[in-house]
Amino acid sequence: MTGCERSEPPVFRFNSVEWVKQEKTHLAEGEHFPEEYKTEIGTIMTALFGTPDDPKFPFFLGDEDPAHDIISIENLKMAAGPTRVDKRESASGLYREHCAHCHGITGNGAGDTAASLEPYPRDFRLGKFKFKSTPLRSPPTDHDLTEILVNGIPGSAMPSFRTLPKDQIQALVEYVKYLTMRGQFERFLLGELAVLDGEPLIDLSLIDKPEGKEPSDDDIEEFEDQMYTVIGEGLQERIIDRWLRTERKVTKIDPAPPEFDINHEGHKDFVQRGRELFFAKGNCMQCHGDTGIGDGQLNNFDDWTNDWIKSAEVDPQNPESYSDFTEVGALPPRPVKPRNLTRHYYRGGDHPNDLYLRLRNGIEGTPMPASTAMTSDEIWAVVAYVRAMPYQDANKNGLSKPVNEKQVMR
Amino acid sequence: MLLRNSWYLIVLIVLMSSFVGCYQRTVAPALTFDQKNAETLDSEIKRMEWD
């Protein structure tokens, strides 16, 4: 950072946290995976995804492959690389200019500023996104990611990039998808180590014979089997295909009933109905608290933290128990805070449709569940109540107290 | 006096930023890879028939 030396080009970071997690999950105390796996995984990742300065996306299926619809190589090049604006004023290096200082070059949520932010910046590698229009376990759509970039996330350090031209926003969206798929694939490879028993993931020596020697048919078949398992199944079926299908999974938002309109004569009763659902069927007060200030359940962790603290059974209160993870780059665990609903800012957007989607689909990676048991009218009632919360005085008319549970449950 | 304090401040900022930079560069190891194998794999991926 200082001095006059030309700095090395940035590199993707190895997912050491996942490595340590896999070791602790599958190996006995003190045992380790062979170090060669790190180089092998790096080699496969580089062959498929390139480097931060020269990204690739594996269009190995030909020009007609639908994967082209997810990520275009032109957009990747626009977002990747060092920051500069060339003479034609077409920008490149957008990710490093706008995102990398928090999300990290690798998209691991561990940029230079990450440790000082609350909440931590998103680690894309888990493939989970909180605010989206698709159900749990489905990736977000381009539109969802664009909304986050354009509007930012209120109440977090994520700013709005509304002033960027549309093509640059799209380039960043695709680069985020690229980093996500790359991270998901790396996690897949690391997950395979336990069953390999020391064998390579893809054994290049099967086809890479010394001069004058040709690989046998059996060797070629074996090599191709390995390629299909790792790349065809691991990358294509588990990751790319799911991203391709996601546009079809967008949750339909049923129209709000007329009482949702604040000028409707039945609106007050509708809000009251929402309040009853908040306390009874929805069980929202368990986390958000009786008055909605987010003081209910306070000792939950999100999936990005649970991913490693649960597998290794570490005690989040005891830094020594998770030092193996923090030494390789994990950020210290912090409990996830339920939203304070009385302040009228919502991370996933304040449009009624946004709130409807948060209730209907839940928030991926957090304890907020999907409200599968509620009808759409009931969800709209809760949305109406949540939107009314900032404007009611919690201390008046007994609103700070939970309603009589027996009365509500009947 | 003001000038001298400014210099202290500049030195402090430079030291802190280099510390933060070094810290971030050392905690997570870089991805190591074999360039020749990566190229072989790349050409094999392109050569194979995927369906």
Q: Check residue A409 and give its pLDDT.
A: 42
User: What does the buried/exposed string (b/e) look like for A203-242 if buried means 16 or more CB atoms within 10 Å of the residue's CB?
Assistant: ebebbeeeeeeeeeeeeeeebbebbeebbbebbbeebbeb
Helix or strand run (H / E) with residue B38: helix B35-47
ipTM above 0.90, yes or no: no
Q: Check residue B4 and give its pLDDT.
A: 75
Q: Check residue B22 and give its pLDDT.
A: 60
Q: Check residue B9 and give its pLDDT.
A: 86
Confidence class of residue B48 from pLDDT cuts 50, 70 and 90? confident
- DSSP for B4-36? HHHHHHHHHHHHHHHHHHHHHHHHSPBPP--HH
Q: What is the mean pLDDT of each run of 10 residues along chain A (410 residues)?
A: 68 95 92 94 95 86 73 91 73 92 95 92 96 95 97 94 94 97 96 90 90 89 93 92 93 96 94 94 92 88 93 86 91 93 90 96 96 94 94 58 46
Q: Are strands A91-92 and A84-85 parallel, antiparallel or unpaired?
A: antiparallel
Does B16 lie at the interface with A, CB-CB under 8 angstroms? no
Q: Which residue of A has its CA nearest to B11?
A: A2
Q: Check residue B2 and give its pLDDT.
A: 65
**Distance to chain B for A73, nearest Cα, Å:** 16
Report how far residue A230's alpha carbon sits from residue A93's, in angstroms, rounded to the nearest whole number: 31
User: How far is CA A146 from its chain centroid?
Assistant: 14
Q: Choose the closest CB to B48 out of A106, A111, A224.
A: A224
Q: Check residue A405 and give its pLDDT.
A: 47
Q: Check residue B12 and give its pLDDT.
A: 86
Tokens of A256: 């709000």
Does B39 lie at the interface with A, CB-CB under 8 angstroms? yes
Contacts A45 to B, Cβ<8 Å: 31, 33
Contacts with A247 (C-beta within 8 Å, 6 or more apart), sequence order: A141
DSSP code, position B49: -
Tokens of A64: 């007609």
Does B9 lie at the interface with A, CB-CB under 8 angstroms? no
Contacts with A132 (C-beta within 8 Å, 6 or more apart), sequence order: A138, A139, A140, A141, A144, A357, A361, A364
